[in-house]
Structure 1
Amino acid sequence: MVDEIRDVAEQWEVRATELPFQGKVTGVRTDEVLMPDGSYARRDYQTHPGSVAVLALDERQRVLLVRQYRHPVRQRLWELPAGLLDVPGENPLHAAQRELYEEAHCKAETWRVLVDFYTSPGGTDEALRLFLATDLAEAAGERYEAQGEELQIQTARVPLTQLVELILAGELHNPTLITGTLALHAALAGAGTAALRPADAPWPARPFS
């Protein structure tokens, strides 16, 4: 019988490791990992610096969305503003605030941690911190100068209840959007957003100073 339901850190023995590919931000690592039966199994996975995302909720209970083309799945997906932790030593909250400005020209007065998760723990070590941002306003100054695929970003504000319906109907597929929407829906049905963790809560998966 399990005494406590929580994830715990653990490190199985690695006999050998190599990095057959390293891109600008992410790479692929191959480890030979000792299994409980004494054999070794090869595990290939993407190495990743981590990510942040923002569920920005306005006073009308609408969620701010961005729409982008995602080449691996050949679709334009509705998503939450998000980005990589690709600046060494950057605080996750500061990164999230930057992404909200760059992708939606928006700022928020109140920030909390909505949920932390691994995006696909069987295939990548990417950890993502998802913030809830409220008390929204338009950002000051000029808009961020987009480049590449970001030139075609669209934005929309969609009621939270409608998002839940669209997710359950199979119309939306971005995992961060799905996780954030359902987490916020659960929080509002429970103890409320005031019970969420503060924006500077510890994040063991990606420690920061």
Structure 2
Amino acid sequence: MSDTADDLAWETLAGEVAYTCPGFDVRHEDVRLPDGTETDYDYLSEPPAVVILPFTSDGDLVVIEEWRQAVRRINRGLPVGGVEPDDEDYRAAAHRELREETGYEADRVVPLTTVEPANGIADSELHFFVAYDCEPAGDQDLDVDETIHPSTTDYEAFRAAIRDGDVRDGRAVLGVLYYDSFGIPDDATPT
């Protein structure tokens, strides 16, 4: 952080939820900029989410195909979901989301990284995990607005699909690229 962080900070004068729906809110805030200018600012506010890079005991990757209404097509990617109030922590949310979206359970889950994917327009926070020794454990338990088909694929084939532009989901692309570039952090403890 620079020594001028205080020179960059905005002051929030007032704020309210301008629009709410299942999954996110749009917040409206009146702010004062460092030069004294008063203006307003709107952004999307949502709970933190987990993204899981799940490997089977054979080394295949568990992936999903999901309809994405905003882009009007099926996207291929990784299991992702919002943290819920009953989740003990982000790792527990990763275990739950993997089971709900794919029907698979992981033997162990290891934290990979945390990012703010769109911090100019949203307070979104993504917590990435790698799940190992994933095995089918039952049926999916999807939310009412989810249509998801899980499958497994060779990891290298999925990487090639990213390279070729066939996988366009940013969370999946980032998770694979981070995993390939940096691996698991040394201080990551599995559960």
TM more than 0.5: yes
After the TM superposition, which residues 118-133 of structure 1 pair with which residues of structure 2 at under 5 Å, given as runs? 118-133=116-131
Quote the residue 1:205 is aligned against. none
Q: Can you list the C-alpha shifts for 1:131-188, whole angstroms capped at 9, x where unaligned?
A: 100122222xx424545453x4222222222222222222211111011111111134
Quote the residue 1:16 is aligned against. 14
* 1:56 is aligned to 2:54: yes
Quote the residue 2:66 is aligned against. 68
Residue identity matched to 2:115:
F
Q: Write the distance in 1 (CA, Å) between the matches of 2:56 and 2:87.
A: 30
After the TM superposition, which residues 156-167 of structure 1 pair with which residues of structure 2 at under 5 Å, given as runs? 156-167=151-162
Contact residue 29 and residue 44 of structure 1 kept, 8 A: yes
* 1:195 is aligned to 2:163: no
Q: Write the distance in 2 (CA, Å) between the matches of 1:137 and 1:59.
A: 7
Matched-pair identity in %: 25
Residue identity matched to 1:195:
D
Residue identity matched to 1:180:
G
Quote the residue 1:181 is aligned against. 176
Deviation at 1:109, TM superposition (A): 1.4
Q: Write the distance in 2 (CA, Å) between the matches of 1:26 and 1:106.
A: 27
Moved beyond 6 Å, runs of 4+? none
After the TM superposition, which residues 26-37 of structure 1 pair with which residues of structure 2 at under 5 Å, given as runs? 26-37=24-35
Q: Write the distance in 2 (CA, Å) between the matches of 1:89 and 1:161.
A: 32
- Could you say what secondary structure the match of 1:49 adopts? coil
Contact residue 50 and residue 85 of structure 1 kept, 8 A: yes
Q: Can you list the C-alpha shifts for 1:22-81, whole angstroms capped at 9, x where unaligned?
A: 223311111122223221232111111111121102344322101110111111101211
TM-score (norm: length of structure 1): 0.78
Structure 1 vs Structure 2 CA RMSD: 2.6
Q: Write the distance in 1 (CA, Å) between the matches of 2:140 and 2:55.
A: 21
With over 3 angstroms needed to count, the CA separation of the structure-2 counterparts of 1:194 and 1:13, relative to structure 1, is closer
Contact residue 99 and residue 141 of structure 2 kept, 8 A: no
Structure 2 residue runs without a partner (length 5+): none
Structure 1 residue runs without a partner (length 5+): 4-9, 201-209
Matched residue count: 187
Residue identity matched to 2:178:
A
Q: Write the distance in 1 (CA, Å) between the matches of 2:76 and 2:52.
A: 13
